[in-house]
Amino acid sequence: MACPWLIKRFIDPDAQFEFLGEDTDWSSVRGTEFFFDVPGCELGHHGDDVSFDSILKKHSSNDPPLRLADIVPAADSHRASPHVAGEGLRWIAHGFRKLGLSDHELLNREFILYDALHAECKERSASHESK
């Protein structure tokens, strides 16, 4: 849910998301502007980069609080030295998935979590810059 949050908040506030099953033949899907977080796509996992990283690299943002880029990969991969907040985010994300909500219901509920993380990163960035 971090990727849709990033897209809606920093790239395209009018973006709409279509969620397709894991068994989807992605080469046959047409009519969408772009894919993310699916096998073989530009905005997916590449080496140590998770989809959030790939989206940030393609659509750069001048928002320093996007230190979320340090946290999200820890929740979405198994890095050797993950950000301490990433493990908590992983637990929360897994817990949300266990609630049995639709993908769109998850978006509505989890966006507030990412808004809160972004606000904390913003405050920490500001206090770090003032030192």
pLDDT tens-digit profile of 108-119? Answer: 999 999 999 999
Total-model pTM: 0.81
The full set of domain ranges for the chain reads: 2-14+33-129
pLDDT tens-digit profile of 45-67? Answer: 888 888 888 888 888 776 766 77
pLDDT tens-digit profile of 71-92? Answer: 888 777 776 777 888 888 888 9
Count how many Cα atoms sit within 13 Å of the Cα of residue 46 in the half-sphere of its side chain. 12
